[in-house]
Amino acid sequence: MVLRQPWQHDLHRAKRGRSTMRIGIIGLGRMGGNIARRLARAGIHPVAFDQAGEARAALAAEGLEVADSLATLLAALPPPRALWVMLPAGEATEVTLKALFSGLAAGDTVIEGGNSFWKDSLRRAGLAAARGVDYLDIGTSGGVWGLSRGYCLMIGGSQAAVQRLSPLFDALAPGEAAAAPTPGRAPGGTAQRGWLHCGPSGAGHFTKMVHNGIEYGMMQAMAEGLDLLHEGPLDIPVAEVTEVWRRGSVVSSWLLDLTAQALAADPELSGYSGHVADSGEGRWTVDTAVENAVPTPVLAAALFARFRSRKEANFADKALSAMRKGFGGHLEPK
């Protein structure tokens, strides 16, 4: 008798349903592997590839189909093919897309779901269009929790390609039940399901860039307030304050939930050095604000605070590190 986890029962039923929709997933790291898993649970058939054999083996052990090369991956997908690239922004994505484009045909679609710079997405969309290939840049938020919570998807590219692949987005997004309807908002549209076609090529990664810039500011404000509680003149139980704020306060949020969890485990956050990294989007947000003369003083200050943390860290910086680990699995540099 084979014992299955609850999600494996969903995967087993999906396999029996013989879903005909297939998609290639390239990059099986913190988010790519879970994207493949969530699609499989929804009855969509992912074919997964990663350069690392252990990443492929992990998914294969769960019953998912894996490929040992890009060529094998492409051969396993019926035309028109759809491929989701989920790799770190920069060289890894650039090299992979260059190799991928050479094997694609007119009518295929490439989705790039990492945190790439939106101007790079514009350029890549042009290269894809020259081959008759659709290119969707998708800002993907959800971190290591996306498998269970779903992913918020911000999409740039052609409307026709978005519409054609909408079952993928519905499978990955949290769905309407994730949040109560907004009072006064007319019902309908995909935003309430957790995904949105934000505009033409580049719009998805531009929107995600701004999202992450805002994230920097929110995290910094919370961390500074906790630092004031921790270092202030009164003996205040910081961990308990975050717990009470989770219930009915104006600042309640998922970030606060994760912070309270970290403080419950380690009230002094002694397991963190306070060296806070930045992964690019905060810099791009501030650069774009300067280029367009849009004042973003809070976002800029949050970015500069991360630079300062690498020279002299305080409790606020440890709180920032704890938040980054909580939502994204980001570890401090050694």
CA angle 52, 56, 58 (to 5 degrees): 115
Q: How many other CB atoms are found less than 10 A from the CB of residue 70?
A: 18
Q: How far apart are CA 176 and CA 157, in angstroms?
A: 24
For the chain, the 3-state helix, strand and coil shares in percent, each to the nearest 5, are 50, 10, 35
Taking the mean position of all CA atoms in its chain, how far away is CA 160?
24
Give the separation between CA 244 and CA 226, rounded to whole angstroms. Answer: 13
Q: Are 36 and 25 in contact (CB under 8 A)?
A: yes
CA-CA distance, 71 to 68, in Å (whole number)? 8
Strands 152-156 and 109-112: what pairing? unpaired
Active site residue 215: yes
Written as six digits, the tokens of 219 are: 């995290």
On whether the CB atoms of residues 137 and 109 are closer than 8 A, the answer is: no
**Residue of 54, 62, 208, 240 with catalytic role:** 208
**Closest residue by Cα to residue 31 from 142, 171, 170:** 142
What tokens appear for 102 in the block?
């050479």
- Minimal CA–CA distance to 67: which of 56, 81, 77? 56
325 is catalytic: no
Q: Are strands 134-141 and 45-49 parallel, antiparallel or unpaired?
A: unpaired
- Given the residues 112, 215, 224, 332, the one annotated as active site: 215
Cα 185 → chain centroid: 26
Q: Quick check: 168 and 23 in contact, CB under 8 A?
A: yes
Sheet of 22-26: strand order equals: 65-66, 45-49, 22-26, 82-85, 109-112, 134-141, 152-156, 195-199
Contact criterion met (CB below 8 Å) for 99 and 44: no
Measured distance CA(77)–CA(222) in Å, rounded: 46
Q: Could you give the residue numbers annotated as active site?
A: 208, 215
